[in-house]
Structure 1
Amino acid sequence: MNLTEHFTLDEFTRSTTADRLKIDNSVPTDLMPNVQLTAIKLEFVRQALGKPINITSGYRCPALNARVGGVSTSAHTKGLAVDFNSSYGTPKEICQRLIDAGVQFDKLIQEHNQWVHIGFNPNNNRQIVLTAVKQGGKTIYKNGLL
């Protein structure tokens, strides 16, 4: 099912972990408006980058989110966040481009210089920018791009 010109529902729900563990990662009907909103916002991300983006993690049902180590309050479980990569550049370059282009988001995280997390809020995008780093074997989040 197409959500927008460039994004499908399958991209938002695809998960090798869910497949392997036989977890049903279907989006509940009441969360479909959030997924639709996220897809629309991702069109702005794609436009700002001038390149396609590859969603590596979109919607996560609570069971899947727990299995991948996500926090229970994760925007992924509400259909309001995705992790992605793009041939545009490194995660830091992608984040900087989105900031410079004025893309509206709730949270933008450069995750360990491996991928980008972007989350949206239907009511109030706070423009929070963070960098995830390992410290003492644990992930911590520092303000800004490092």
Structure 2
Amino acid sequence: MGTVDLTTKLAANFSLGELVSSAKADSLGIDNTPPAAIVEQLRATAAMLQRIRDRLDRAVIVTSGYRCQALNRAVGGVTSSDHVQGQAADILVPGYGTPYDVAKALAPLVSMLGIGQLILEGVGGKRWVHVSTRVPDRPANRVITITDAGTQLGIQPVR
């Protein structure tokens, strides 16, 4: 896909490598190097993540950032995933609390922090927070919870 410097800082606390790193891609031999246009999108995503980090005053761990199409298919992502466009990251902030705690804290701040969409996800026993720079077409989908039981508006406790 070309050469990019994965050590490039996209924001004070986030590097390009952090937003494209994937153990799944490594294990499957998938090149998850983003094209230049996606790197520019990742800059905006990193800026959003930096605002989240600064607001929560805790380190933000990116568990999934950019995914090329092949990686997105391999992890079972939807074809319209914001991850493929470099506009999303799945995060954990263990120093702040559970994913529910993080999502509850961020929900009233989405506009201020430049979060287009905030999703508390709890699927298959795993929990994380999905943040995207893209604002969904339907305002009701801006802050949602997705679990094995389905999708609910707002941030709901995940059992």
The reply to whether TM is greater than 0.5 is yes
Q: CA RMSD in A?
A: 2.0
CA distance in 1, matches of 2:151, 2:51: 25
| C-alpha deviation, 1:33, in angstroms | 1.1
State percent identity of aligned pairs: 35
Q: How does 1:1-146 map to 2 (within 5 A)?
A: 1-86=8-93, 87-101=95-109, 102-112=112-122, 114-121=127-134, 128-135=142-149, 140-146=150-156
**1:52-106: per-residue Cα shift (whole Å, max 9, x none)?**
1000000000000000000011000000000010121111111111123442311
Structure 2 residue runs without a partner (length 5+): 1-7
- For the residue of structure 2 that corresponds to 1:45, the secondary structure is helix
**1:83-136: per-residue Cα shift (whole Å, max 9, x none)?**
0101211111111111234423111011117110001128x9x5711111113x
- For the residue of structure 2 that corresponds to 1:51, the secondary structure is coil
Structure 1 residue runs without a partner (length 5+): none
8 Å contact 2:99–2:127 — kept in the other structure? Answer: yes
- For the residue of structure 2 that corresponds to 1:132, the secondary structure is strand
Which TM-score applies when normalising by structure 2? 0.83
CA distance in 1, matches of 2:11, 2:35: 19
8 Å contact 1:48–1:97 — kept in the other structure? Answer: no
- For the residue of structure 2 that corresponds to 1:63, the secondary structure is helix
8 Å contact 2:107–2:155 — kept in the other structure? Answer: no
